[in-house]
Structure 1
Amino acid sequence: MTGRIDRIDHIGVVCLSLDEAVEFYRSTYGFELRHVEVIESQGVREAVMAIGTAADDRAPYVQLLQPTRQDSAVSRWLERRGPGLHHIAFGTDDVRTAAACLEERGVVPVIDPPGTGSRGTQVTFLHPRDCLGVLTELVAPPQDRAASEAAPARH
């Protein structure tokens, strides 16, 4: 594992109605709904909309977020800014290493140590003040999947 940031993982969009947003992205852009999950710890319901037809988990996607409770960060965001672009997420194979490298450059992680995101991913966020005004997320595959992908093949 290198911690190298190697792709745009997803774009996060806050919405008032997850169902309406899913229909919009499906009918307007042809994006495919791949996953819906309630993330209790973050107080959100999310939908993952695949961009393009790539079947692997490394294809970029749009993450639609609807708050499920008033005290969540996404609910506060929605109250202050309204629906729309929330964050950009960059993919890496190792969130801890990537975050440590960025911290050496003055970009401090908001979640330290990284936490668990949807679908078992490992995540941390970087504060907009350190990222030219953009809330930024770092995402790595679930640790068990990353370990199995990194292990040499057995014959």
Structure 2
Amino acid sequence: MMGIDHIGIAVRDLDGQVSLYRDRLGLAFEGIEEVPAQKVRVAFFAAGSSRIELLASTSPDGPIARHIDKRGEGLHHVAYRVPDIRAAMAEAAAKGFQLIDQEPRPGAHGTLVCFLHPRSTGGVLTELVQHTRSEH
């Protein structure tokens, strides 16, 4: 792992929370993107060498909507940057981590992502992220 890529925070009202993080907390707003495959809209903010990702569901049956229904708004996941997602997935599986994704899936900003189940990571949903473009 190359370090923390971002912290994911589940929210109901993306626009309202953008205002909180940008205007009140003063983080640099990087924009909003929809990730249809995950039924989510995301907003990113620069936070030093890491980022904050706000996640809002685009569907009542989406994973973020289900998360908020069960646990409320707040911390959703911690994402770690990896240079090679497939190698990181194989290494994680070999070390006994439970992979939610058996294949990398598309993430925001053209990334490839994979999630590790909280049962195998001390209760924290963990995301592995490989950037496929050079801007992040």
Cα distance in 1 for residues equivalent to 2:66 and 2:2: 31
Aligned to 1:150: none
Alignment of 1:110-121 (within 5 A): 110-121=100-111
Alignment of 1:90-109 (within 5 A): 90-109=80-99
- TM superposition score normalised by structure 1: 0.83
Give the paired residue count: 134
Percentage identity across paired residues of the two chains: 40
Which one-letter code corresponds to 1:46 in the other structure?
Answer: V
Aligned to 2:7: 11
Shift of 1:35: 2.2
What secondary structure sits across from 2:2 in the alignment?
Answer: strand
Aligned to 1:124: 114
Contact 2:112 2:131 in 1 (8 A): yes
1:86 aligns with 2:82: no
What secondary structure sits across from 1:6 in the alignment?
Answer: coil
Which one-letter code corresponds to 1:98 in the other structure?
Answer: A
Structure 1: give runs of 5+ residues left out of the alignment: 53-58, 147-155
Shift of 1:50: 0.8
Cα distance in 1 for residues equivalent to 2:60 and 2:10: 14
Structure 2: give runs of 5+ residues left out of the alignment: none
Aligned to 1:20: 16
Which one-letter code corresponds to 1:135 in the other structure?
Answer: L
Shift of 1:28: 2.8
Which of structure 1's runs of 4+ aligned residues deviate more than 4 A? none
Aligned to 1:55: none
Cα distance in 2 for residues equivalent to 1:109 and 1:33: 31
Deviation by residue 1:48-92 (Cα, 9 ceiling, x = unmatched): 11113xxxxxx3100000111011111100111111000000001
Match of 1:71 among 50, 55, 61: 61
Cα distance in 2 for residues equivalent to 1:61 and 1:82: 21
Contact 2:98 2:119 in 1 (8 A): no
Q: Which has the larger radius of gyration?
A: 1
- TM superposition score normalised by structure 2: 0.94
